[in-house]
Structure 1
Amino acid sequence: MKRVIELGQIVAGPTAGLIFADMGFEVIKVEKPCSGDISRELNGTSAGTFMYYNRGKKSLELDIKTDFGKEVLTKLLSTADIIVENMAPGTMKKIGFSYEDVKKINSRIIYVSIKGYMEGPYENRKSLDYPIEIESGLAYMTGTKDRPMRMGASIVDMVAAILGVTKAFQLISENKGGLVEIGLFETAMFLAGQHIATYEIEKKDLEPINEMNFAWGIYDYFMSSDNKKLFIAVATDDQWKKFCEGFGLQSIITDEKFSSNNARYMHRDFLIPLIQKKLLSMKYEEIKNVLDLYNISYGTLNKPWDLLHDPQALKYMVNMNYNNNSYEVPRLPFSVAQNNNAPTLGNCTKKILSDLGYSDTRIEEAIKTMIK
């Protein structure tokens, strides 16, 4: 089993560790004594942050700024395959664990470093997901002209972690060690790339997604008679014909105003109300059955917690324990993890130190010192 040492905080670093854990790697999360990952303290709308992003890990309580902490981390890194860190810029170098330092300890290690910005004029700036969404233009495209809006999850953090893990697996496949540097800003640029490319072609400002007309004639929300909202997407002429047949709208199939996607797009102001009027005469289940029968793409408007009861989602949930309570949360679709629980702070400290050769007496001394 490959070993990952995670020095991660909040979302980006812990997400990378979570992916490795879900793929069956041993992940040891090194945490600050007494307080741990700062996401342990979050509550309200962020109360599930630590629990979700730290499933399947072992927690090692260790002050890596002390001589003992550095000694333990050095020993751990000599046994590891991968290190993941998203500490503030310059922190790892300051405490003696930059890539160049760690490479001397373990020449084959893969060093995944996630930062706000990669090499450039901003590289020493601290940052988090939301400021990066603002600065990269993602928030502008997600909101409205008057109010840029962040996405509904820390997408930039999570995608940065996925990119870091992807590159790490390339190095694993080549049987190489190496440095993997990922920037949140550069990740967000990649996510915003479609809009940058469109601007390059059109040479004019784009409207935010929530204010622009989509490229398809039927690509919108519709309401059922029992007040359920669906998003329906009809992208091709063949789908348009099936849609009309399914909902008894054969009379408009050959109407020149709707004869192609471009025509439907140009006449959306007439077409969308016409379709909405029809669907308001039907209950949600009736609409859903027609869409399923004719294989038309749609999505029912859900809140995230609605997925706890969704028949498609249930297979891809795992039961986990955290602070003596049981919870259902999503897993990776290809997870092979045997342990899905989130660790209490320092839950494996004694075992890890013992495996590194420290005596019970030395371990107890270290723990007493750390919790003062």
Structure 2
Amino acid sequence: MHTGILANKTVLELGSMIAAPFATHILNQLGATVIKIEPPAGETTRKLVRGGPSGTYIAYNRGKQSICLDLQTDGGREIFRTLVEKADIVLHNLSPGAARKLGVTYENCMAINPSIVYCHIKGYGEGPLAEEVASNPIAEAATGVMYSNRIDGRPSRLGPSYHDQFAGCYAVIGILAALMAPEGTPERHIEFGLYETGLHIAARDLVGVQLKSQLLGRPEQEPSPEFSIPGYGAYETRDGRWIYLVMLTDEHWRKFCRAVPIEASDELATLRQRRRQRPQVEEIVGTAVRSLDYDGLAKKLSAEGVGFTEVLSLDRVLDAPQAQEPRKYSEFTFAEYGFEAPDFPLSYNVTQVRAAGSPPLLGEQTSALLKGIGYDDTQIRSFLDDGAAVTADQEASLWAKVSKPEPVTG
């Protein structure tokens, strides 16, 4: 059984990719029961890696229940209505057109259950683009993030889908606030866009450009700290590892000089001086780092209170003592493979929640959930025979296996 602040809440998720599944992942970690409603083909992330589930699906759908429904059939819609009657929260990131087509709009759900908390993560909020579809990279491009992030001069996405994940967090904030609001109030209808999420995230940089434009009399892009502050960035150590240094202030610089040690000359004492002599400072820092092995340098920097970390490849991240002591991830199996996935970081909430199980197979809990909401065996068999509902194929292989390479001879 779940415990935790949302232990008595049931969430219906009609989610795909990241934004909605990430939001319900957090709600599940806070104790809520999450029922993932999927179409017969499954949601998108079930088929992204060699025809099977991707890391996104495995990481953000563990601990949920999957019911597979065809909402374009009368039977599928009937089941959905019954689920909504008994649920507390509906959350999805379908396009506005798809939500109307499938009958899962706010108006549809409110007519079934007036006390429902309804959250729709859209591409765009209110405005001329409200009906358009948007994704994480579109939000990056439209809100200024992509313009400065270039590969060989070409604007490029960041890589991780941070806008999707921020939107998921905003959805959770909105849902928690709505649960505190009286039934029937507008606060229980939450609707916002990835675009508006991106605008809010970009506020610091947008305001920074405005400030510089007014101070300098011309628009100027606000660079990231590592492009504007010497000594701020990644440097290679003598043993071929990479260390990331944070030197924002003059005190940071003095601490680094004491740690290495090098002379903290008066000519480089202030950030303005160091910026004027950036190539010289970069050479000083790079040479100092290259003269030491990582472990020795780390010990010196830590003793002086310098901000740093090793730049780790993904396969090494969860081996770090900070990730393991206490353990900040859950271990579980899915198909025949074992996984370790980081948990929601508010540990005092998560530790009271049951250990998250594997992510569900497509339709794994369909029959059990149908029985739980009042359908008998004959009705369930009818839904399955008609294709309104689908159960999991327990024997199906999830991924196309990589064939073993032929042995090299001669």
Q: TM-score, normalised by structure 1?
A: 0.92
- Structure 1 alignment gaps of length 5 or more: none
Please, which of 199, 205, 214 is the counterpart of residue 220 of structure 2?
Answer: 205
Counterpart check, 1:155 vs 2:167: no
Give the secondary-structure state (helix, strand or coil) at the position aligned to 1:213: helix
CA distance in 2, matches of 1:25, 1:137: 36
Partner residue of 1:187? 197
One-letter amino acid of the counterpart of residue 333, structure 1: P
CA distance in 2, matches of 1:176, 1:153: 37
Contact 2:12 2:91 in 1 (8 A): yes
Partner residue of 1:360? 377
Q: How many residues align?
A: 366
One-letter amino acid of the counterpart of residue 96, structure 1: G
Please, which of 351, 355, 358 is the counterpart of residue 368 of structure 2?
Answer: 351
C-alpha deviation, 1:281, in angstroms: 1.3
CA 1:316 to 1:261, structure 2 compared with 1: closer, same or farther past 3 Å? Answer: same
CA 1:197 to 1:145, structure 2 compared with 1: closer, same or farther past 3 Å? Answer: farther
CA 1:239 to 1:136, structure 2 compared with 1: closer, same or farther past 3 Å? Answer: closer
C-alpha deviation, 1:46, in angstroms: 8.0
One-letter amino acid of the counterpart of residue 66, structure 2: S
Q: Deviations over 1:146-205 (max 9, x none)?
A: 211212211111111110111111112335461111201111112222221122122213
C-alpha deviation, 1:239, in angstroms: 2.8
Counterpart check, 1:276 vs 2:286: yes
Partner residue of 1:332? 344
Give the secondary-structure state (helix, strand or coil) at the position aligned to 1:218: coil
One-letter amino acid of the counterpart of residue 22, structure 2: T
Q: Deviations over 1:4-24 (max 9, x none)?
A: 000001111111111111111
CA 1:326 to 1:355, structure 2 compared with 1: closer, same or farther past 3 Å? Answer: same
One-letter amino acid of the counterpart of residue 145, structure 2: L
Aligned positions of 1:185-334 closer than 5 A: 185-203=195-213, 204-206=219-221, 209=224, 213-214=227-228, 216-249=229-262, 251=263, 253=264, 255-314=265-324, 315-334=327-346
Contact 1:142 1:149 in 2 (8 A): yes
Over the aligned positions, Cα root-mean-square deviation in angstroms equals: 2.1
The percentage of aligned residue pairs carrying the same residue is: 28
Counterpart check, 1:32 vs 2:39: yes
Moved more, 97-106 or 74-83: 97-106
Give the secondary-structure state (helix, strand or coil) at the position aligned to 2:155: coil
Q: Deviations over 1:229-250 (max 9, x none)?
A: 111112233332222222122x
CA distance in 1, matches of 2:104, 2:233: 51
C-alpha deviation, 1:305, in angstroms: 2.4
Aligned positions of 1:115-134 closer than 5 A: 115-134=122-141
Runs of 4 or more above 3 Å deviation: 174-177, 207-210
One-letter amino acid of the counterpart of residue 205, structure 1: E
Q: Deviations over 1:196-228 (max 9, x none)?
A: 112212221316649x732x3421222111111
Aligned positions of 1:48-59 closer than 5 A: 48-59=55-66
CA distance in 2, matches of 1:176, 1:247: 61
Give the secondary-structure state (helix, strand or coil) at the position aligned to 1:172: helix
Partner residue of 1:91? 98
Contact 1:264 1:271 in 2 (8 A): yes
Give the secondary-structure state (helix, strand or coil) at the position aligned to 2:57: helix
